[in-house]
Structure 1
Amino acid sequence: MTTSPAGPFTPLAAPLSAPPRRIRVDVWSDVACPWCFIGKRRFAAALARFPHREHVEVVWRSYQLSPETPAGSGRPEVDALAEMKGLDRGQVQQMFAHVTAVAATDGLRYDFDRTLAFNTFDAHRLLHLAAQAGGAPLVEATMEALFTAHFEQGADLGAEGALVALAGRAGFAAHGWDADRVAAALAGDDAADAVRADLAEARALGVTGVPFFVVDRRYAVSGAQPAEVFTQLLDAGWREANPPAAVAGGDVCGPDGC
């Protein structure tokens, strides 16, 4: 018997009757963040091994690393980052070489020779439209398509029509959103308020870098951590949401007598 601060109670492995309480993981990320794609893969690996994964809701939230980037067609990422950070091209290329090597260990094939910097606001709008159209599965497919197009294929996601074409590849049409409907939504202001709300909440939480993972607004982890750290985060959130029941001890009879 284990004695607890509240009395001589024995923790049970699971509650007697109540179903497990779901936990929610909010993830702030930016399509233009190379560590976010790596973090996404590592978190997915941890979630795939988590025994209660069917009771975990994952919500992807918007964040912009460079909101001042002009809208429209992109320009070489190395030039944009060198200008923003005040570095020479050689220093930026060294940074890219490092993150490329790390990404490769997680099965990603970054190509910064082709990567183009672009304003990601409309890409985040597209992710919110995916949530409206097809829920979490379509968000997942759209995010993978965005990251892959940007970091591995050198696509110009700021070019006119690029996000509409990507939405088609991600599967919007299967949910009743053909190219014309996606184009009309992006041409207007659809989902812009949802993106702004995510950005405002990130500021309120003090988020200054991404990826940033929050479980039930109680536990947080910043950065592309190893999968084992994400496992610990999920475990902590699960224990908080589903504490073991407790039974008081006393004199009992068992198989060996009384």
Structure 2
Amino acid sequence: MLIEVWSDFVCPWCYIGKRRLETALSRFEHAGDVEILWRSYQLDPTVEPGADGLVLDHLAKKMGAGPEQVRAMTDRVTALAAAEGLEYDLENAHVANTFDAHRVAHLARKYDAGPQVHERFMRAHLIETQHLSDPETVIRLAAEAGVPADEARRVLAGDDHADDVRAEIDLARQFGANGVPFFVLGRTHGVSGAQPVETFLSALQEAYGRAVAAS
């Protein structure tokens, strides 16, 4: 059974949702029959390519909110992430346009490194505060996850996989997604948001049962 997951590397809820899905799969007796495909989505496509600055400042400006309101929001998601074993450092995270990073993630599929790149980019941004708008950082991180550095550099120098990224974002919208994380299980069940583990487990069981019945 195929699970398609739309997420963005800079999305705090996406990493939480990833961990909760993984926990659900660890309790799912047919997990060996499951394949996960990480699909592209941009949490905030309005961020300029090459943009810098801190996420908290960007959020405050975008939301028209004060520092205390933004900090309360990020403190909440940081606490929820900690419960999943993720030590976020959102206070020092850099704002980034992730379109090019997603192009490299598509390249990673060629080397069977898609999941590894997705995990590496998320950890780099949300925990290690590395800057995903910096091409050399993206190249280095991708190489750590199994993508040849020269291939990643070649992709970033051109426009390879740009249409692939756009197509996946469009596909998410066709499924009715207006945010991430968004999970589609077996093309029969959808889960929106970083739901509790029990919700994922129930969806896995129902989608798998339907897939078995259909076959």
TM-score if structure 2 supplies the norm length? 0.96
Task: Give CA deviations for 1:142-167 in whole Å, capped at 9, x if unaligned.
Answer: 11111111011111111231110111
- 2:9 maps to which residue? 31
Measured after TM superposition, the shift of residue 73 of structure 1 is 4.3
Measured after TM superposition, the shift of residue 243 of structure 1 is 2.5
The one-letter code of the counterpart of 2:25 is L
Distance 2:12 2:145 in 1: 20
Task: Give CA deviations for 1:201-220 in whole Å, capped at 9, x if unaligned.
Answer: 11212211111111122111
Instruction: State percent identity of aligned pairs.
Output: 44
The SS at the match of 2:210 is helix
- 1:213 maps to which residue? 183
- 1:171 maps to which residue? 146
Matched, 1:160 2:135: yes
The SS at the match of 1:75 is coil
Matches within 5 A, 1:59-74: 59-74=37-52
- 2:66 maps to which residue? 88
CA contact (8 A) 2:135 2:156 kept: no
Matched, 1:115 2:107: no
CA contact (8 A) 2:186 2:208 kept: no
Q: Which contiguous aligned blocks of 4+ residues in structure 1 show a shift greater than 4 angstroms?
A: none
Root-mean-square deviation (CA), in Å? 1.5
Task: Give CA deviations for 1:201-258 in whole Å, capped at 9, x if unaligned.
Answer: 112122111111111221111111111111111101111011399xxxxxxxxxxxxx
* Stretches of structure 1 lacking an aligned partner (at least 5 in a row): 1-22, 246-258
The SS at the match of 1:154 is coil
CA contact (8 A) 1:73 1:157 kept: no
Match of 1:227 among 188, 197, 212: 197
Distance 2:128 2:169 in 1: 27
More helix by share: 2
Matched, 1:181 2:151: yes
TM-score if structure 1 supplies the norm length? 0.80
The one-letter code of the counterpart of 1:77 is V
CA contact (8 A) 1:62 1:199 kept: yes
Measured after TM superposition, the shift of residue 88 of structure 1 is 1.3
CA contact (8 A) 1:74 1:157 kept: no
- 2:122 maps to which residue? 147
